[in-house]
């Protein structure tokens, strides 16, 4: 794992989709409050669908491999 | 035959001929050697990779199924957009690494990659078998999805069986000639139509039928509240724990799904994949539309015998023939594109260095799925339930294997077999989810534990060190076997 993620702190942003759709889900599984006409779970899903690409973009923006369009090392070659 | 039916069938027929022509023209002026045919010469930019990957993730069955599940169960269908979000985050993390390894060593399939990593053609063979068994039901699912679409939009004038055959002929036709490039070109046509029709349906139908989305949900809240939270209406155990575990399992499985790998190996650079990991989850917004429409159908066409017909029944009931025809083309192409990529993927798994051998396998796999659709429409489709969970067991060898040098082929194989031995019986006996948790995730955890334990037990002799790298450079099939 070491070679692959060394010096790429921004990759922590990639946890956001997991927080939204996994960790927070027990709290989001409800009808009220209704927001923008949507029952809460559906509002939450819409919000998470919009925020997830944003989080992946934030991960990429400060990722040196993305900035240099660089191939990634593995630990086996 | 009604005028609406004539118009819809006419539009559909013209579009199928155009699709075949476009797909075949994609290869003009290029030699169909192995790299060109299997991975488009690793030359695709952001747009072609985008439409290709979108073509696989957002298929006819994701649209029909999304509406069908929403109609039948309600909220559990949101898992579809959930695992795509976690999936693309995982793709950003791991897919460029897999691409890099494959590009450095000229590998074109999951089988190639694993045979090369573990210096074991026999382990590659095991992988090819698992992947093929997992993909065949998906091809059949698409053929049957095509049947449903074409039958519905022709106002039942075109029988299911005819539609199955049309789907097979068109997709096999261009994939044999043009390989991945043909699929990518047809995907461009398909995506334009799909986006157009979904946006149209999203705006037109709810407004016409309910006045606004708010009104639709208000009615659901008063009349069908069970549909609005997990575990949904009379679902088979699709609760919160299932939702969470499935978002994790399917999310990590994304990166290794063999046909998805085939799609991203065609990228010309790692950033092509990274940009797609950013932009593709936005496509999920489109998937929310059939979900809403599926729930709207509860009030428009209640008590349907087949949930998957919810969307199409509403479309044919509420819209004129020419719109129905265009929706039908979008639906049919959403079956044809993934069908083509799945067949191509199986072809590259078995083709070795020969494109012609791969082509024979393409036809054979398509015919097998076509036969399944005609003769046993239910049997194989039931197997597709466990495809994702079975494929997820490839994560430790494919991703873990590139990250952990000490993983041995014995560890990888033992973990894989244990994982499958947990997933297959649970899924086939109707015990998935097991105690509320996605069975594939249980299999994956056991898989990793066994893999690590066995690999650690025999560490040194089998671990490929960096010094082997030069020896195998350029050779796709390594010569030594360790299984």
CATH number for the domain spanning B322: value is 1.20.1730.10
Residue B100 dihedral angles phi and psi, to the nearest 5°: -60, -45
The pLDDT-based confidence of B373 (bands split at 50, 70, 90) is: confident
* pLDDT for the residue numbered B36: 79
B425, part of any domain: no
Report whether pLDDT(B472) > 80.
no
Range of the domain at B59: 3-386
Report whether pLDDT(B33) > 90.
no
Contacts of B248 in chain A (CB under 8 A): 18, 22
* pLDDT for the residue numbered B395: 95
CA pair distance A52, B449, nearest whole angstrom = 30
Mean pLDDT of B9-23: 89
B466, part of any domain: no
Report whether pLDDT(B196) > 80.
yes
pLDDT digits (tens, 9 = 90+) for B276-313: 999 888 888 888 888 998 999 999 888 888 888 888 88
B435, part of any domain: no
Per run of 10 residues, the mean pLDDT along chain A (length 77 residues) is 80 96 94 90 95 95 93 86
User: Among the residues of B105-239, which ranges form H helices?
Assistant: 110-117, 121-153, 160-210, 213-223
Closest residue in chain B to residue A5, using alpha carbons only = B93
Contacts of B214 in chain A (CB under 8 A): 37
Report whether pLDDT(B479) > 50.
no
Q: Give chain B's mean pLDDT.
A: 86
Contacts of A31 in chain B (CB under 8 A): 221, 225, 228-229
CB contact under 8 A, B270 and A30: no
Coil, strand or helix at B277: helix
Q: How many CB atoms lie under 10 A from the CB of residue B234?
A: 10
Give the residue from B87, B80, B47 showing the smallest Cα distance to B63. Answer: B80
Contacts of B96 in chain A (CB under 8 A): 65, 71-72
The pLDDT-based confidence of B382 (bands split at 50, 70, 90) is: low
Which 8-state DSSP code applies to residue B76?
Answer: G
pLDDT digits (tens, 9 = 90+) for B154-188: 888 999 899 899 988 888 888 888 888 888 888 88
B341, part of any domain: yes
Chain A contact present for B106, CB below 8 A: no
Report whether pLDDT(B144) > 60.
yes
* pLDDT for the residue numbered B423: 92
Which DSSP string do the residues of B369-437 spell out, in sequence order? HHHHHHH-TTHHHHHHTTHHHHHGGGHIIIIIHHH-TT--HHHHHHHHHHHHHHHHHHHHTT--SBTTB
The distance of B256 to chain A (nearest Cα, Å) reads 16
Residue B267 dihedral angles phi and psi, to the nearest 5°: -65, 150
Contacts of A71 in chain B (CB under 8 A): 96, 99-100, 103-104, 270
Closest residue in chain B to residue A75, using alpha carbons only = B403
The distance of B105 to chain A (nearest Cα, Å) reads 10
Higher pLDDT, B311 or B466: B311
B255, part of any domain: yes
* pLDDT for the residue numbered B407: 94
Mean pLDDT of B181-210: 87
B301, part of any domain: yes
Report whether pLDDT(B469) > 50.
no
CA pair distance B470, B403, nearest whole angstrom = 19
CB contact under 8 A, A77 and B101: yes
Report whether pLDDT(B461) > 80.
no
* pLDDT for the residue numbered B65: 82
Question: Would you kindly state where each structural domain of chain A is located, as residue ranges?
Answer: 2-67
B147, part of any domain: yes
Mean pLDDT of B426-453: 91
Mean pLDDT of B405-409: 93
CB contact under 8 A, B82 and A48: yes
Q: Are B11 and B322 in contact (CB under 8 A)?
A: yes
Partner residue facing A74 (CB), from B85, B229, B402 = B402
Residues 6+ positions from B263 with CB-CB distance below 8 Å: B49, B52, B53, B56, B180, B341
CB contact under 8 A, B88 and A17: yes
CB contact under 8 A, A60 and B213: no
Report whether pLDDT(B255) > 80.
yes
Mean pLDDT of B115-144: 90
Higher pLDDT, A42 or B459: A42
* pLDDT for the residue numbered B481: 36
Chain A contact present for B207, CB below 8 A: no
* pLDDT for the residue numbered B476: 40
CB contact under 8 A, B86 and A18: yes
Percent of chain B with pLDDT over 70: 93
Partner residue facing B274 (CB), from A17, A38, A60 = A60
Higher pLDDT, A66 or B358: A66
pLDDT digits (tens, 9 = 90+) for B84-118: 999 999 999 999 999 999 999 999 889 999 999 99
Chain A contact present for B122, CB below 8 A: no
Give me the number of domains chain B comprises. 1
B423, part of any domain: no
* pLDDT for the residue numbered A2: 64
């Amino acid at each position: 794992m070491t070679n692959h993620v060394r010096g790429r702190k921004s990759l922590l942003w990639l946890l956001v989709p997991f927080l939204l759709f996994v960790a927070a889900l027990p709290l989001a599984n409800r009808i009220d409050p209704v927001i923008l006409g949507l029952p809460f779970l559906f509002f939450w899903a819409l919000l998470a669908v919009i925020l997830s690409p944003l989080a992946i973009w934030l991960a990429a923006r400060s990722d040196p491999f993305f900035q240099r369009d660089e191939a990634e090392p593995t630990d086996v070659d | 035959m009604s005028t609406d039916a004539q118009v819809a069938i006419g539009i559909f027929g013209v579009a199928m001929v155009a699709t075949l022509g476009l797909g075949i023209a994609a290869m003009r002026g290029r030699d169909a050697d192995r790299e060109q045919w299997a991975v488009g010469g690793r030359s695709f930019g952001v747009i072609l990779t985008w439409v290709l990957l979108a073509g696989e993730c957002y298929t006819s069955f994701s649209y029909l199924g999304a509406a069908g599940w929403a109609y039948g169960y309600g909220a559990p269908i949101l898992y579809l957009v959930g695992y795509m979000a976690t999936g693309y985050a995982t793709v950003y993390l791991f897919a460029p690494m897999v691409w890099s390894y494959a590009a450095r060593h000229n590998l074109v399939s999951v089988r190639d990659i694993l045979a090369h990593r573990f210096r074991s053609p026999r382990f590659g063979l095991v992988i090819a078998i698992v992947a093929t068994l997992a993909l065949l039901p998906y091809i059949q699912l698409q053929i049957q999805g095509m049947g449903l679409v074409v039958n519905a939009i022709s106002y039942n004038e075109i029988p299911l069986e005819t539609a199955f055959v049309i789907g097979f002929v068109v997709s096999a036709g261009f994939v044999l000639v043009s390989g991945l490039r043909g699929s990518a070109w047809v995907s461009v046509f398909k995506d334009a139509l799909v986006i157009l029709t979904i946006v149209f349906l999203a705006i037109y139908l709810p407004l016409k039928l309910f006045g606004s989305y708010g009104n639709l949900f208000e009615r659901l809240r008063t009349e069908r509240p069970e549909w609005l939270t997990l575990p949904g209406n009379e679902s088979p155990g699709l609760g919160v724990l299932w939702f969470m575990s499935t978002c994790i399992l399917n999310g990590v499985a994304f990166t290794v799904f063999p046909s998805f790998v085939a799609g991203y190996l065609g990228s010309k650079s790692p950033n092509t994949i990274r940009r797609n990991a950013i932009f593709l989850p936005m496509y999920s917004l489109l998937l929310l539309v059939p979900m809403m429409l599926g729930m709207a159908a509860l009030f428009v066409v209640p008590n349907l015998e087949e949930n998957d017909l919810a969307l199409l029944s509403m479309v044919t009931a509420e819209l004129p023939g020419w719109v129905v025809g265009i929706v039908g083309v979008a639906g049919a192409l959403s079956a044809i594109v993934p069908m083509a990529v799945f067949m191509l993927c199986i072809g590259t798994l078995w083709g070795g260095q020969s494109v012609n051998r791969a082509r024979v396998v393409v036809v054979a796999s398509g015919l097998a799925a076509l036969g399944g659709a005609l003769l046993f429409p239910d049997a194989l489709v039931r197997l597709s339930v466990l495809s994702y969970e079975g494929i997820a067991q490839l994560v430790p060898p494919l991703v873990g294997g590139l990250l952990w040098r000490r993983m041995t082929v014995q560890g990888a194989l033992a973990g894989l077999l244990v994982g499958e031995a947990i997933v297959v019986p649970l899924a086939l006996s109707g015990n998935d989810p097991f105690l509320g948790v996605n069975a594939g995730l249980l299999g994956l955890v056991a898989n990793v534990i066994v893999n690590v334990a066995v690999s650690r037990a025999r560490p040194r002799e089998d671990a490929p060190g960096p010094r082997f790298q030069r020896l195998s450079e350029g050779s796709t099939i390594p010569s030594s076997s360790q299984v």
